[in-house]
Amino acid sequence: MSALRLMKLAEAIRFNESLPIPVKWKRATVVNGIAKKTGAIIGGKIGHILLMEDMGDKKRGEFLCGAEIKNPFAHQMLNMSERNIDSSKQERVTCRKCLAVAERMKRKNGAA
Ligand SMILES: [Zn+2]
């Protein structure tokens, strides 16, 4: 792995760890389905915050921003594995809505 790649990876992990999410979460994309011929995942490019535990009125398996889960079966199969929680965070969360919700939580926690 190149030094540049390592730096990007470390930066992404640091960024993701700075997000004030009080429950277990993963970085994940919306999964629409799986290509029949190639088995490739058909999904979004945006990295969301996916809750791996209930958090207030949001439930385990929901995206923090409320992004629609179009294919619950594929979502369950591909996104809800507990095994890659750490490796999922090697790429930055990019969803602006998820980050905005996280930012609001930080302010709320700071005021308490
Ligand atoms: Zn999102």
CA 37 to ligand 1 centroid distance, Å? 29
Mean pLDDT by 10 residues, the chain (112 residues): 92 96 96 88 93 96 96 92 94 97 82 50
Q: Which two tokens stand for residue 31?
A: 């999964």
Q: Cα of 29 to ligand 1 centre, how many Å?
A: 8
Please return the burial class of 72, using the count of CB atoms within 10 Å of its CB with bins 0-12, 13-18 and 19+.
exposed
Which residues have a beta carbon within 5 Å of ligand 1, which is an ion?
A: 48, 63, 65, 67, 95, 97-98
Nearest to 84 by CA among 38, 35, 25, 5: 25
Phi, psi angle pair for 107, to nearest 5°: -65, -40
List C-alpha distances in Å: 41 to 24, 38, 44.
24, 9, 9
Distance 94 CA to ligand 1 centre (A): 8
Which pTM does this prediction carry?
Answer: 0.89
The pLDDT, as a whole number, for residue 110 is: 60
Q: 13 CB contacts (<8 Å, ≥6 apart)?
A: 89, 90
Provide the pLDDT for residue 40: 85
Distance between Cα 97 and ligand 1 center (Å) = 5
Task: Please report the pLDDT score of residue 49 as a whole number.
Answer: 98
Residue spans of the domains in the chain: they are 3-111
